[in-house]
Structure 1
């Protein structure tokens, strides 16, 4: 590939810093020394974020600010509910801020415990970043063609994984 630019069906390796509207860092891949790999155009990232990177080359820095609707969506107050304290079992220590999986009408969902009283608890099923404008500072490290196996799976595979290994795993 002569000109490895970010384009559909290419694997992109990047570092990112995610900040909120006040400039507070929420996540930073460099602090973990672990870049993010994703398959462009396959729904691995927010569409607005992918659009901002389209055509970028390795070494290029890209910034994108996403409105809440382009990221985790607007807050939905209907997703905040009260449940009896007894539904959580007497031995379970409950503290505001704890997150856990709960079964909802559309399947499992991560919820955050908002408040705890003697008789009830309030939980919030909104994503913690719902309703927030988010800014991404991105540094493109590498762009390469995706393998057939990666295209079939819809995401990058670990280094050294071959198409044959993926087929062997599917058959076992």
Structure 2
């Protein structure tokens, strides 16, 4: 049987959990995730997990922070004046927003603190700093 190699297009069902067992994502009830193996379209640990698998194979992989979304970076927590928000917007903790940088890149941020004059925004990936566990099933190659 054909084994996954770098450059193969693969279709994978998965169930992603935190180390405490909390599910953060799953392909259940959806089409399998499709990506090109070894092309950095998914996190490193997930990419490496499918290498060598054959269609129908299932496995559980533990992916450390360094092969997932990396450690939390305190430099990615930013303070913004409340006056920079639209007048009709009431910032609230947990609210997700889109921000842009000087190069035109857009990235998600989450409001983590609201003060009288400022709002703290966190641009870390929500899973940064977390070890992840994935149940993976290789549906097909190609």
TM-score, L = length of structure 1: 0.76
Rounded Cα–Cα distance in structure 2 between residues aligned with 1:118 and 1:91: 16
Task: Give the 5 Å matches for 1:1-172.
Answer: 3-30=1-28, 32-104=29-101, 107-144=105-142
Q: Identify the structure with the greater helix proportion.
A: 1
SS of the residue 1:138 aligns to = strand
Q: Which has the higher contact order (CA 8 A, sep 6+)?
A: 2
Structure with greater Cα Rg = 1
Structure 2 residues not aligned, in runs of 5+: none
Alpha-carbon contact 1:83-1:122 (below 8 Å) kept: yes
Q: Which residue is 1:163 aligned to?
A: none
Provide the aligned length of Structure 1 versus Structure 2. Answer: 141
Any conservation in 2 of the 1:53–1:62 contact (CA below 8 Å)? Answer: no
**Whole-Å Cα distance in 1 between the matches of residues 16 and 97 of structure 2?**
23
SS of 2:24 mapped into structure 1: strand
CA distance in 1 between counterparts of 2:51 and 2:9 reads 12
Q: Is the 8 A contact 1:114 1:123 kept in 2?
A: yes
Q: Are the aligned partners of 2:17 and 2:25 in contact in 1 as well (CA < 8 Å)?
A: yes
Aligned-pair distance for 1:105?
5.1
* 1:109-165: CA deviation from partner (whole Å, max 9, x where unpaired): 211111222311111111111000011110111112xxxxxxxxxxxxxxxxxxxxx
CA contact (8 A) 2:114 2:120 kept: yes
Q: Larger % of strand: which?
A: 2
1:34 shift after superposition: 2.0
SS of the aligned residue for 2:46 comes to helix
